[in-house]
Structure 1
């Protein structure tokens, strides 16, 4: 819906023909590329001209990547991957409002998500597509860029450990248990059949919980809530 509204705005302002915008929307449905990115990449609309038009239509300010204030900790709100994929770059906090540069303020979903995750109100400034890389570089520094849609290269297998998990609630009392990988007593060391069976059941439950936690982290990575590198760094900091 937001992409359709943006397309209507482009046609209404005479920035591109209806046929070209309709073709771009069809391509956008197929590839899931942001419409502003697609319009500029295919040279249907000039990026800065489009940003000026969006800003005027919605009475919003413009974001200049060279002059917009950028807080030193602005990168803590999102990952570089998320900023590039969504076209949204946090800049600074003013009172209880997070000022962000955004290529398409009409795409409310990602902005609502950012507000929910940070607890701040969001005030968007319109950023031209062609200015997105420069502002991302200002905010995230010299960290190597991640190509959107390309998985990050994981560390070698020997540097990974399964995430420590907390088993699901089975009643009014939640019992914290170590995952199977950290059990101090192994099933092979136990001779009593009843105890052995209990240990095996505990290990199976903990392995399942670990898989569920890993699946949750993978979903967070896919949604851009954290990067794979942050995930592995967190695993490295788990207590021995």
Structure 2
């Protein structure tokens, strides 16, 4: 039944002109191989943005959306679902209403199979509310793993035009340099910064999401103009010992993977090595000095899929604990 509902969502997206039939088939193949929700697979393949998918689902289903960053979830409600459950189904409980109704945030309210399964497991009537995959993931990380938001607060910060203009964070510096290089326009930077304030994520990823710049052009800029080194993740050996430096929830939240560890220094691959706020968070979390290398969003996600989610980590070569890496500045 779940597959039918997934297919139905895909067909509706095709009918709406948001994806092609070829993209539908590719996303279904990836879902079969890697798991996850159909919608999140579309997003990870850059076939649709989270904002576009959210708007489509809200309009086509009539399901209300919820802002998880500004909605406080009571502890007693969180206890109604285990960490394993929310991670498996990519949902999070948000409210309980008597006599026996549990409201949950989910990325695909059309997946009746998951809703029925959750109703059976919890013994409660399940009412879905709509949210993005990344927002749910961030909420799961915050509430179930104790990893705070990047801004260090449980509540979202106000984001004003004046703050955007005056900000001198790593995010802003990258944006300003892209504007000065005529890679993006000032209004695109402001739009991306506002989206970042609302939904989080690195500024580079937000610029890509709004269509201001392609990932390839951003990589070229970071590598050639800012001297950032690129790592070839296909030539990195990912041992259990290495992966344990950064757990799955942190890797997914910040979209980074560890690539080497030596003498108190942890090398990581990320989309934006100039994002100092994330690097600071990783340094605080690991207690190690962080050295960042450039890798594509797709390459990082493939490593997370392959080593964190799909393949048991007990099959590595026990004699090798630190990987050798190949650095490339040639894009």
TM range (shorter): 0.5 to 0.7
- Determine if contact 1:11/1:18 at 8 Å carries over to the other structure: yes
2: distance between equivalents of 1:40 and 1:123? Answer: 24
Match of 1:90, SS state, is strand
**C-alpha contact (below 8 Å) 2:107/2:133 kept by paired residues:** yes
Q: 1:125 aligns with which of 109, 124, 129?
A: 129
Aligned equivalent of 1:32, options 30, 35, 38 = 35
CA RMSD of aligned residues (A): 2.4
2:22 is the counterpart of 1:12: no
Aligned mates of 1:109, 1:66 — CA distance in 2 = 27
Match of 1:49 in 2: 52
In the TM superposition, structure 1's runs of 4+ consecutive aligned residues that sit over 3 Å from their partners are 143-153
**Which segment drifts farther, 21-30 or 143-152?**
143-152
Number of corresponding residues: 153
Q: Is the 8 A contact 2:81 2:122 kept in 1?
A: no
Cα distance between partner residues in 2 of 1:41 and 1:127: 16
| Relative contact order higher in (CA < 8 Å, ≥ 6 apart) | 1
* Alpha-carbon displacement from aligned partner over 1:169-192 (angstroms, at most 9, x marks no partner): xxxxxxxxxxxxxxxxxxxxxxxx
1:99 and 2:99 are equivalent in the alignment: no
Are 2:92 and 1:89 aligned?
yes
Distance in structure 1 (CA, Å) of the matches to 2:313 and 2:84: 10
1:108 paired with 2:150, answer no
Whole-angstrom CA distance in 2 between matches of 1:148 and 1:135: 19
Structure 1 contact 48–130 (Cα < 8 Å) conserved: no
> For 1:2, which of 1, 5, 22 is the aligned residue?
5
Query: 1:14, CA displacement in angstroms?
Result: 1.8
Candidates 66, 72, 76, aligned match of 1:73: 76
Structure 1: 5+ residue stretches without partners: 154-240
Instruction: Give the Å deviation of 1:6.
Output: 1.1
Q: Deviations over 1:69-127 (max 9, x none)?
A: 41212332223233233121111202221010001112122211211222221110111
Could you tell me which runs of 5 or more consecutive residues in structure 2 were left unpaired when the two chains were aligned.
148-246, 250-307, 315-331
Structure 2 CA distance for aligned equivalents of residues 34 and 66 of structure 1: 22
Once residues 92 and 145 of structure 1 are traced to their aligned partners in structure 2, the CA distance between those partners, rounded to angstroms, is: 26
TM-score, reference length from structure 2? 0.42
CA distance in 1, matches of 2:52, 2:61: 14
- Asked if the contact 2:102/2:125 (under 8 Å) is kept, the reply is yes
The one-character-per-residue Cα deviations of 1:179-219 (angstroms, maximum 9, x if unpaired) are: xxxxxxxxxxxxxxxxxxxxxxxxxxxxxxxxxxxxxxxxx
> Normalized against structure 1, the TM-score is what?
0.57
The verdict on how the C-alpha distance between 1:131 and 1:122 changes in structure 2, with shifts beyond 3 A counting, is same
* Structure 1 Cα separation of the partners of residues 15 and 70 of structure 2: 31
Using the TM superposition, name which of 79-88 and 38-47 deviates more: 79-88
Higher strand share: 2
Name the counterpart of 2:240: none
User: How far apart in 1 are the matches of 2:51 and 2:16?
Assistant: 14
Does the Cα contact within 8 Å between 1:63 and 1:127 map onto a contact in 2?
yes
Q: 1:69 to 1:99 in 2, by over 3 A?
A: farther
